[in-house]
Amino acid sequence: MPKKNSKTFEGTADALDEMSDVIREMPSKVKQIHVSETTIPDAFRGAPKVISPRLHRWLDVAVTSYFTGLGIWFAVRGEAGRSSAAFINAAMVGTVSAFTDYEGTGEKPIDFKMHGTLDALQAATAATVPVLHGFADEPGSAFFYAQAANEVAVIAFTDWDAGMPAEERSQAA
């Protein structure tokens, strides 16, 4: 029996050594990935671009209204977790939209491609709040899952280059 324990200990020690090596190498590996604010919008470059920056702005208004209405509906029904989840999403979309430079003029702090990356974050939030608020397996979660899927489609079909400043548009194309 003592032999088995020592082998187990040696195996565990070897595994920990390997994990330490992986952790030490991680920062250099992450730097090699070249992730930026354009990574997510550019990942969908091959999709047809049928959503202009102007239409995208109106879709953001619609999504903010959708989640605000959903939050009110859940609040009236006494469903606090669902209500706060909806209001969190409404606040995310509304705030990002208010600070987005849809025209590429540089007058607002969030450029259009960064907005696309933040849209992906919002889609992830919509998809995970049912889990975090404990209603993932209930019918109310469908409102969030459907909007998350819709958001991914909007990201894919938006012409992100059209909302960028002219000098950056030519580089991205």
DSSP 26-80: HHHHHHTT---TTHHHHHTTTS---B-HHHHHHHHHHHHHHHHHHHHHHHHTT-H
Query: What is d(CA 122, CA 143) in angstroms, rounded to the nearest whole number?
Result: 14
pLDDT tens string 127-136: 999 999 999 9
Residues 6+ apart with CB under 8 A from 124: 148
pLDDT higher than 70, residue 160 = yes
pLDDT tens string 81-91: 999 999 999 99
Strand partners, 51: 158
In the chain, what percentage of residues exceed pLDDT 90? 69
pLDDT score of 47: 94
Helix axes 80-98, 141-157, angle to 10 degrees: 20
Task: Tell me the pLDDT of the chain averaged across its residues.
Answer: 88
Query: What is d(CA 97, CA 64) in angstroms, rounded to the nearest whole number?
Result: 9
What is this structure's pTM? 0.77
Q: Are 51 and 59 in contact (CB under 8 A)?
A: yes
CA distances from 5 to 9, 10, 13, 18, 19 (A): 6, 9, 12, 20, 21
Instruction: Domain ranges for the chain, please list them.
Output: 1-33, 39-172
